[in-house]
A and B are shown apart, each in its own frame.
Chain A
Amino acid sequence: MYPRQFDYVAPGSLDEAFGALGDTSKVMAGGMSLIPLMKMRLFSPGTVVDIGRIGGLDTIDDHGDHISIGALVRHAETASSGAVPTALATAASLTGDVQVRNRGTTCGALAHADVAADQPAGALACGAVMVAQSASGTREIPASEFFVDALTSALHHDEILTSVKIPKAGDGEGSAYDKLGRRGGRSDYAVAGAAAWVKKSNGSIEAARVALTGVGTKPQLADGVAEALVGTDGSDGAVEAAADRALEGVTVLEDLYGSEEYKSHLAKVYVTRAVKQALANI
């Protein structure tokens, strides 16, 4: 497992980092996904830009109505900080293993955009906004527009995902994430997983976001489910009925861990479980 030759730079500031970015460069934070791909020679960047030494990117900050998770915040911290909404925190806690969670970063997992990763679903359900910076300025990209395709995000080559902004949970809001892992239980990448965020007032669901991972060509919102939930009382029957719309707009992909039929079934199961748990978490 040896990568092809590449250049390595470890800039001390974002400006230096922007200067190092080019058509064949790749940003590395924890390296937990990038390095295996390079070692298997499935991906061979010309230059690895290691942002690990840039100061000020390793904190979760409270901005009143939202928090921001910096580019160097590790999965373990996202999982345990207490400041992160449950759906994303749970997704972070189920990412990889202990070593991976201590090195890999939440922003890295989002930028990597793996179809079976946990945190993209959490970010989608929580209504996250990606903060992409480059030499020419800052773009804010809603999570719903960020995951473009398998391993493809809306980031440009000259941009770095410097933080992700997440609205803080308010009264009447709850979120959750659940999955079936490839090793059964919740171990390993998601065979199928779902994250849900709901807001309830006066006994009925006022707003909802539900996201799927592991099932389709990218982590994506299941807008039909959210639409079906809104206005209901969130009863088990209402949730199960809404879950029937889980696959609207989803191209289900078969893999070693599930047939199209099975994954379609799991999508509904995990949407149901995640929404019920989100309601319970209010």
Chain B
Amino acid sequence: MAMTTSALGGSVRRREDPALIQGSGLYTDDYTPHGTSYVAFARSPLAHAKINSIDTSAAQAADGVVAVYTHDDVAHLGDLLAQVVVAKGRPLLANGEVNHVGEAVAMVVAESVAQAKDAADMIDVDYDPLPAVIDLKEALASDNLVHADLESNVIVPWEAGPFGDEEAIAATKQTIADAKARDDTVTVSVEAVNQKLIPVPIEPRSVVAEWNGGYGRFRVHSSSQVPHALMGAIKTTFGLNANDVHVTAPEVGGGFGVKLNVYNDEILCCFAAQQLGRPVKWTETRREAPGSSIQGRGWVGTATVTGTKDGEILGYELDAIADMGAYEQNFTAAIPFLGLFVGSGQYKFPTHWKATCVFTNTMTTDAYRGAGRPEAAYYLERVIDAYAREIEVDPVQVRLKNFFEPFDEAVVSPIGFAIDTGDYGNNLEKLVEVSGYEDLKAERDAARAEGRHVGIGITTYCEVCGFAPTALSELGFSWATYGLPAGFYGTSLVRINPDASVTVITGTGPSGQGHQTTWAQLVSDRLGIPTERIRVIHGDTEESPMGIGTFGSRSLAVDGSATYDAAERVAAKAKNIAAHLLEASADDIELDADGASVAGSPDSSVDWGEIASAAYLPYRLGETEIEGGLESHVIFDAPNATWPFGAHLAMVEVDGETGDVKILKYMTVDDCGNVVNPMIVAGQVHGGVTQGIGQALFEESIYDESGNLLTGSLLDYPIPAAADLPMFETSHTVTPTNINSIGAKGIGEAGTIGSAQTIVNAVVDALESLGVKHIDMPLRPKRVWAAMQEARG
């Protein structure tokens, strides 16, 4: 891959990396202000129980203990604020009952971490166990309730066909029923589990809170993807103004949605810091993370396709139950709704889609890379594959037959949302071409003739990301609950400093996405100033104008576009200044790395230093109406989300004796519109596909029927390592979006959304000769072997 140093479309090396590689990058846990005290939590060992009493006396008396808090101490602060709470939010500390293993019951503050942990172990809680609700079908049907004060475990059913139109939904159901009744159609169903996952960002969460009573201000460092939302939650909880709370998310070591949440521990550390007048730090341990940070996915459902025998699909239905865990947090019940957005994928057939959100006595679920969309794509692409197999038509042909035709003006999906641009057939055909699909099939068939179990899986996906416009705030897409009625726009300030260096301050909160590099490329493209002279600042609520954060593959499409547009405005002003200095027309001014010159007269030029000093010594602007300074702040409210898409292919071999799955090939053709930095895009695809493979093959958050988490350590929760993976072969088609100035869609989640079902389809294909129709993830060898045994009879 060619490395370049500038401009759009080049693989500029990540400017973030030297600090990270050399170990000088500062993470939240690296901040230890003078006098810091440390927090540990006593956590519930039970999934569901009434708390009779909490005896903290031994902990209070233990060495080094500064304070111990329970619910009574923080009851006045209310529940943890969350953006979308439908039925039940999380108490800051367990309020008379516990509802999942790992729930925080008491908080210890001590002089050292070890003392805090030791004291937390001494807290004696008297519990009366209650029956736990774990199984999703039981949660839906049973009288056994997670929350006795609610009428049922159901939080909300999300239904579409299209969304929000009950009459149309009834008509769609009828259309599909009619199709089923025809004698020239086939109906194929797949009942499948999209298992609950424990996200594992390499940096566990961490928070350091400081309170200065004299200034009346909180200073908070937190490992957050959404520092502004955290600032809002703190200021609202403690009755302050937005400008009384300064939150910084320094280096953040991976987020994947885990850190797209405001957590009770963050609020509790602020509380303790205010009470004690000392800095308070808590850093999550890997062992407690499955009970202190959100989990993801956790669906069971049945997907059904009805179509003709030659591959025309006449209807698609999904009926799913989604596990929300014990309490709602930031977007909990909204996550399946994000899946609904893309419930019909790239296809035009009638769709009736339903996912019912239920409480269980397990850890809360929320956004995990893809957030609802991997689940939606999984069911759709699994059942289309099953249908193709049933009618014995190549899965590629079935998909091509049912796609939307190419469009560059929005089309409305069967789910009811307007998709910006798409060219699905071209994308899938490119995958067929670059993969040598026909040759791969011949290779597969030759291997099968030798008795080997080789299979090919091919899938497509349509994503939705960069959620916009701000009118979606009515659906909860804003930080209004945190006292900050700001919708999901992009924001960036581009400033040329007096020395002609450039500072970009953006509203994102990245955790590895490379914004310092990509944003510099965007600005360099508009100004001509080399990326080396551009520094990008993010993740800070005081430096940045109101920002939204980094999640949902949104940053480039919205904040990147705001950056590009702000740079364009700065460029226009720089041209005006140069025109004044050169006594030329601004229309004739051209910008480059050195400065400005008059088109056609290269000798008539001023360098960037002269332009900048004129901006900051405004007398030099003379009689013009140009104001001093050289900066622009843009809030970009995109008219729509972006809708990337793509096609994935996997070739696998299953060991017929052991069920062990080996990935022989993995290829992607993604379409995220215009690409700013191909290297970073490839990295996103690699990471995303890896997480999808993790779900397909290895990972599962397993709670037993009593609600004990059986996979709470990395010993029992295997995540993929480089050695477990094939070389990924990535390529692209380019269908720019028309809703932003750079034509870019998102890519952060695409790999995850497209991959798990690709692996499962490939494994099912490999076992076709045995008659295996479906295996639930993760496809650990034991499951694959059991499926083979069952098929063999």
Contact = CB atoms under 8 A, between A and B. Distances in A.
Interface of A: 1-5, 36, 39-41, 97, 180, 182-185, 187-189, 191, 256-259, 262, 265-266, 269
A189 B660 CA distance: 15
Interface stretch (B182-190, B576-584, B781-789): B781-789
Contacts, number: 64
5 contacts: A5-B114, A5-B118, A184-B660, A184-B724, A265-B785
User: Can you list the 9 inter-chain pairs with the closest CB atoms, starting with the nearest?
Assistant: A1-B285, A258-B782, A2-B117, A183-B718, A262-B782, A269-B657, A184-B660, A2-B114, A183-B724
A191 B713 contact: no
Interface residues of B, number: 31
A238 B781 CA distance: 27
A265 B657 CA distance: 9
Given A5-B118, A259-B786, 12 more contacts: A1-B285, A1-B286, A1-B287, A2-B113, A2-B117, A41-B121, A184-B698, A184-B724, A187-B721, A187-B723, A256-B710, A257-B781
Contacts of B212: none
B662 interface: yes
Nearest to B288: A1
A199 B658 CA distance: 28
B436 to A, nearest CB: 25
Nearest to A189: B715
B780 interface: yes
Interface centre among B121, B660, B716 (most CB of A within 10 A): B660
Contacts of A4: 118
Contact of A269 (B658, B698, B723): B658
B720 interface: yes
A111 B781 CA distance: 29
A184 B780 contact: yes
Interface string B95-132: 00000000000000000011001100100000000000
Contacts of A185: 660, 662, 724
Contacts of A3: 114
B697 interface: yes
B658 A256 contact: no
A179 to B, nearest CB: 10
Contact of A257 (B117, B697, B780): B780
B711 interface: yes
A184 B661 contact: yes
A64 B486 CA distance: 78
A3 B285 CA distance: 12
Interface string B269-296: 0000000000000000111000000000
A100 B94 CA distance: 39
Interface in B746-785: 780-782, 785
B702 interface: yes
A262 B786 contact: yes
Interface string B686-721: 000000000001100010000000110101101011
Contacts of B697: 183-184
A180 B721 contact: no
Contacts of A1: 285-287
Contacts of B121: 41
A187 B724 contact: yes
A184 B781 contact: yes
A180 B723 contact: no
A129 B658 CA distance: 32
A1 B723 CA distance: 27
Interface in B141-200: none
A191 B697 CA distance: 15
Nearest to B714: A36
Contact of B702 (A191, A256, A266): A256
Given A2-B114, A256-B710, A183 B287 contact: no
Contacts of B718: 182-183, 188
B579 to A, nearest CB: 60
Nearest to A192: B658
A242 B332 CA distance: 55
Contacts of B698: 183-184
Nearest to A183: B718
Contacts of B285: 1-2
A32 B711 CA distance: 20
Contacts of A257: 780-782
Contacts of A5: 114, 118
A93 to B, nearest CB: 12
Contact of B662 (A184, A258, A259, A269): A184
A281 B285 CA distance: 45
A31 to B, nearest CB: 16
B11 to A, nearest CB: 28
Nearest to A97: B721
Contacts of B721: 97, 183, 187
A256 B657 CA distance: 19
A3 B287 CA distance: 12
A188 B715 CA distance: 9
A266 B287 CA distance: 31
B782 A191 contact: yes
Contacts of A266: 658
Contacts of A183: 697-698, 718, 720-721, 724
A163 B637 CA distance: 69
A207 to B, nearest CB: 27
A188 B720 CA distance: 10
A257 B660 CA distance: 12
A191 B720 CA distance: 16
B352 to A, nearest CB: 37
A5 B660 CA distance: 42
A262 B710 CA distance: 20
A187 B698 CA distance: 11
A95 B674 CA distance: 45
Contacts of A184: 660-662, 697-698, 724, 780-781
A256 B114 contact: no
Given A97-B721, A184-B724, A262 B785 contact: yes
Contacts of B661: 184
A4 B286 CA distance: 17
Contacts of B786: 259, 262
Contacts of B286: 1
Contacts of B713: 40
Nearest to A98: B723
Contacts of B118: 4-5
B661 to A, nearest CB: 6
Interface string B24-41: 000000000000000000
Contacts of B785: 262, 265
A97 B718 CA distance: 13
Contacts of B660: 180, 184-185
A255 to B, nearest CB: 9
Interface in B603-633: none
